[in-house]
Amino acid sequence: MKKLPIWLCVFIILGLFLPGIQKQQKAEFVLNNGKIFTVSEKNPQVQAVAVSGGKILALGTDEEIDQYVGSSTQILDVNGKLVVPGFIDAHCHFSAGGNSLTKLDLRNARTIESIQEQIAERIKELSEGELVVAYASFPNPTLFGGLGWPTKEMLDKVSPNNPVVIQRRGGHAVWVNSIALQRSGITLDTDPPSGGEIVKNPETGEPSGILKEAAQGLLKVWGQSKPKEDIERALKHAAQLGLTGVQTGSYLKEIEIFNELNKEGKLTLRIYAWLPVGRLDQYIENGIKQGQGNEMVRVGFLKIFIDGTIGVRSALMFEPFAEEPGNTGLAQYGEEEFYALVEKAHKNGYQVGVHAIGDKGVHWVLNAIERAQKIHGKKGLRHRVEHNTVNTFEDTKRFNELGVVASMQPNITGSEMYRRMRLGVKRARRVDMVKTLLTSGAVLAWGTDWPVSSINPMENLYQLVTRYYKEERLTMDEAIKYYTYGSAYASFEEEIKGTLEVGKLADMVVLSRDLLTIPSREILRTEVLYTILGGKIVYQKK
């Protein structure tokens, strides 16, 4: 056989290998010298990551990633800091949160005098008759000597001519003064709507100044919001806290605003926007479905309320509240009406997220989903219980069986003293049974319900690893996992985000402290150094 010339052999060899060399993709962004917790069981910790086209190109050691560095690659050396996937808040009210940043924050006030002083100071900045809007915690076991629900007279004392609307932490009650009631036409003869309560003075029968649940809809002096400005304000705030995604209550108009901001290049996190179930027929008619959209803005689940809150004592409970014998909460629907609504959404292919805080409320949600699945099949819809605060032990096992996501906010359920006061010692032990749910096979997802509480992920992480009952504590890696992977799973997006893996979106957070090793007391002092969305730095601490 005739030998080939050496030059031809070299040409053939180069022809075989050169294309591979030429195709070696260079990264647009490389993060190196880090302790990168990927939340992926396949490759849990790496040192560096290369990014191209907004997605992860490669993961490995600094040396392994060096080959992806080109002349135009942006390199971020994080000096050994902890890097985790971007945090995804599974339950918040993003526009309202942005708006709350402009309101008077009384949530840390512990006396009536403190509240009155701050309102009086705000009124000095306003014209007579101009609205004062604030947030506060009430009733509160440490507020004004445990006197219970506050009254309009307490606000009238410092604001006789300016309407005052104080929204309760949680959003399920408001405390208002006399002029706010007058402007809203709420009198002794006003009947509360179904699912709501106008608290009355037991001696006079007059409205006391507290409106619970649906009765808040009677109020006509809420003030004006500017959704786009509120959202832009919220985006800046969230980026500083390491949020690369939120699942938020919205209306179709707000989804339009999110898309508009995305086109303008101003959207610094990814949106899963849930919609109110009240317009279900409109969504069906117009072909609006869960999951529609893109990697930045998607239509989310349909939100349903079945009960209220523990603080307002309107959560739907099997047993009465410890402080109010005979009060087992307020159902927002009749049981059969609720089951039929969930079935209709399920039949038409909609994921539902049901606000349920009381153990009976959660039980109804699981019953409704189970019934819908028996009639129409499971459909893989990953229905969700939003809040899921109090469970029975039997119901914790049903989440995995039914494929239901437990979307929870551990930082808003109060201290152990507060839980025992509202629920009694035995039932307080069944609040936020996160480890029990996890052991039963449930998928968990963390949120904050912002502006009910801070949207800072560190507060949830701290709560999860320092639970009062040790048997319900999570490890830090578990806590982080369900702030990233868990939330992504809840929105059907675990294949594109929630863990750091090749091909997934390059959403990452660089932290000032190593959450995996530091004492728990240091968690709340941990800051975000960089927030990275799709390989682009959207926040850098200065």
pLDDT tens, position by position, 385-407 = 999 999 999 999 999 999 999 99
Report pTM.
0.85
Q: Which amino acid is at 198?
A: I
Residue-level pLDDT at 464: 97
Mean pLDDT within 424-445: 97
Q: What ranges in 74-224 are assigned the alpha helix state H?
A: 94-100, 112-124, 152-156, 178-183
Q: Is 125 helix (H, G, I), strand (E, B) or coil?
A: coil
Q: In the chain, what are the domains?
A: 15-86+500-542 (2.30.40.10), 96-218 (3.10.310.70)
pLDDT of residue 2: 52
Q: Which of 129-138, 174-183, 363-372 has the lowest mean pLDDT?
A: 129-138
E strands present in 328-395: 352-356, 384-387
Per-residue model confidence (pLDDT) at position 141: 53
Residue 517 has pLDDT above 80, yes or no: yes
What is the average per-residue pLDDT within 220-246? 92
- Quote the mean pLDDT of the chain: 92
> What pLDDT, on the 0 to 100 scale, is given for residue 20?
45
Question: Which stretch of DSSP H or E encloses residue 335?
Answer: helix 335-347
Which of the pair, 220 or 239, is modelled with greater confidence? 239
From the number of C-beta atoms within 10 Å of its C-beta (0-12, 13-18, 19+), residue 440 rates as middle
H helical segments located in 387-496: 393-396, 398-402, 416-423, 425-428, 434-439, 457-465, 476-490
Q: Write down the pLDDT at residue 265.
A: 97
Bridge partners of 297, per DSSP, are 271
CB 38 within 8 A of CB 45: yes
Structure token pair of residue 426: 């035995």
Looking at residue 19, what is its pLDDT?
Answer: 47
Asked if 448 contacts 455 with a C-beta cutoff of 8 angstroms, the reply is yes
- Angle 347-351-356 (CA atoms, 0-180°, nearest 5)? 110
Give the pair of three-digit tokens for residue 248: 């938020």
Instruction: Please state which of the ranges 7-21, 328-342, 424-438 shows the lowest mean pLDDT.
Output: 7-21
Mean pLDDT of 481-485: 98
Least confident piece of the model among 130-134, 229-233, 277-281, 302-306: 130-134
Which pLDDT band, with edges at 50, 70 and 90, does 108 fall under? confident
| Helices 227-239, 252-263: inter-axial angle, 10-degree rounding | 60
Tell me which residue has tokens 């699981």.
Answer: 366
Question: Which pLDDT score, from 0 to 100, does residue 144 have?
Answer: 55
CA angle 24, 29, 30 (to 5 degrees): 85
Q: Which of 206, 131, 217 is nearest to 171 (CA)?
A: 217
The tens digit of pLDDT for each residue in 339-355 reads: 999 999 999 999 999 99
* pLDDT for residue 23 is more than 80: no
User: Can you tell me the mean pLDDT for 504-523?
Assistant: 98
